[in-house]
Amino acid sequence: MERPGERIEITISSRFENIELVQVIAEHVCENAGLDDDGSHWIGMAVREAVANAIKHGNKLDVRKRVRATLDLQGSQLDITIADEGQGFDPTKVSDPLNPQNLMKTSGRGIFYMKTFMDQVSYTFTPGGGTSLLMTKNLAGASGIASTK
């Protein structure tokens, strides 16, 4: 019998200590879907980076602003949305951390890690403010870092 879909939503205030809440939920969703520990860990890592960016760069650490995380599992397809209430940014201006000129920079690797561990990463910007990040992963056959791109 096909496993029914699952949708989990959580809203947190913009505090770094809340990042792990969302990360742990994401890892549990993956484990419950049958993904192994490594695969679940790396998806949790992508979620951690996304929530950290939403809190720090999106909501600028304003605890009155919220971050909304939605995890939607349908079959083996996991869609994760992380939305903040910030002013958005230009993704094309994010530098490549693998460029030798950027290798020794102390920041700028979060989005790279998300793209490494997930199948697709895309952004939507709301005119009135707020950035919504969508990350997708097909859990079928997903495992450790070797299976990521």
Partner 1 sequence: MKVTSRSVDEVEIIKLEGKITIGAGDSQLRESITNALNQGHNKILLDMSGVTTIDSSGIGELVGSYTTVTNRGGKLKLLHLPAKVNDLLHVTQLITVFEVHEKEADALKSF
> Residue 5 CB, nearest distance to partner 1 (Å)?
29
Please say whether the beta carbons of 101 and 53 come within 8 A: no
Torsion of Cα atoms, 108 then 111 then 115 then 117, to 10°: 90
Binding to partner 1 (CB under 8 A) within 49-88 occurs at 49, 52, 56
> Residue 2 CB, nearest distance to partner 1 (Å)?
33
Binding mask 31-50 for partner 1 (x = CB under 8 A): ----------x---x--xx-
Residues touching partner 1, count (CB under 8 A): 22
Please say whether the beta carbons of 25 and 8 come within 8 A: yes
Q: Can you tell me which of 8, 57, 109, 119 binds partner 1, judged by CB under 8 A?
A: 109
109 vs 49: CA distance, rounded Å? 9
Q: Can you tell me which of 105, 122, 138, 140 binds partner 1, judged by CB under 8 A?
A: 105
38 vs 41: CA distance, rounded Å? 5
Distant-in-sequence, close-in-space partners of 115: CB < 8 Å, separation ≥ 6 = 121, 149
> Residue 59 CB, nearest distance to partner 1 (Å)?
14
Which amino acid appears at position 24 of this protein?
Answer: V
Q: Can you tell me which of 12, 19, 73, 80 binds partner 1, judged by CB under 8 A?
A: 19
106 is written with which tokens? 């102390």
Chain residues binding partner 1 by CB under 8 A are 16-17, 19, 41, 45, 48-49, 52, 56, 97-98, 103-107, 109-110, 112-113, 116, 145
